[in-house]
Structure 1
């Protein structure tokens, strides 16, 4: 399987770095009070250090709002995944517990304030591409059974059969979601300036350590950018 970032993406976002973590042979079934505690800790930190009015100006959030604008998504309507979680917390709501792997990457996403996501590798059709949508692709939103298409020019992850995530990291598809039965997964860690390649390496290593601690299995990472736009695994 191959994951590629298209030239279109780098023409618009030349300093983009994306960390790819491949986790295989994981146990995602059991529950973990330790993970629950980690999520609670990071939620408390956000409540203590942020107010809703200031989120849009934060150095880690503002660049994503600009990026969304650049591919035609209104940042006042569509939020990056990490901004959406922070807003949820600051409204007094907890991040829901889904399963170990999802809870772990949500924790790290909030800790480092970088968008993260994942797909079940065994449900992927063909190869994965981060690219600009043609507008004819098919997408089933998480938790729904309706089918829609992305806007032309929208940043999407897609495989050979469907869109995996709309508006870069805004909404996942239902078919490839991580479940308790997931054994093999691809995880995405996304960085635009001020996030550097070095920072992404740090986050990917943190993620791998947590996966091995709580989910067992094996994991490795790749960093994709303008100089290295694809990885095979």
Structure 2
């Protein structure tokens, strides 16, 4: 029997790096992150940013960078707390505290279902630069980690994957954050687990849930 490949859910609370400063005290053109529009109010430190998958998209967890085999999730959410929002140009930071996945299925031979996908070792630090470059890093000495549990023809398979960091791109066109082929390597699990996992997903819009109306957040 051919052994099923188990892709890693590479995502990790990788929240769009958008920081928040008090909208009532900071000037819009002075901060890296603003809400409502690129020329809107500065978002406040301590605010919570959230995001779901962009409308009509899915999170893809592939077994190779160019393949179509793997896991597809119709739902995913991110949440992070802003820790710094300096003047632009600069780099804003957040503490990524949660990431969830739902509606996950697999087209990998031998995999009958996706039991769970869990992002471990949170919080992570998310840094967003004025040029839209976003980087997610773990605590010192740690790793970004995801645990995938699948139902297979041979029983339950648990695979643990890690990455030293993740990269994404923030865009003001949709106030979103995009991850493309972010690579995770297997650190433990059965022979049913593939050695690598590639994560691609687009989250939009990123909103400031601490402000009335949850306005979209932009990077300047």
Q: TM-score, normalised by structure 1?
A: 0.25
- Larger % of strand: which? 2
- Larger % of helix: which? 1
Looking at both structures, which has the greater relative contact order when contacts are Cα pairs under 8 Å and sequence separation is at least 6? Answer: 1
Of structures 1 and 2, the larger Rg is shown by 2
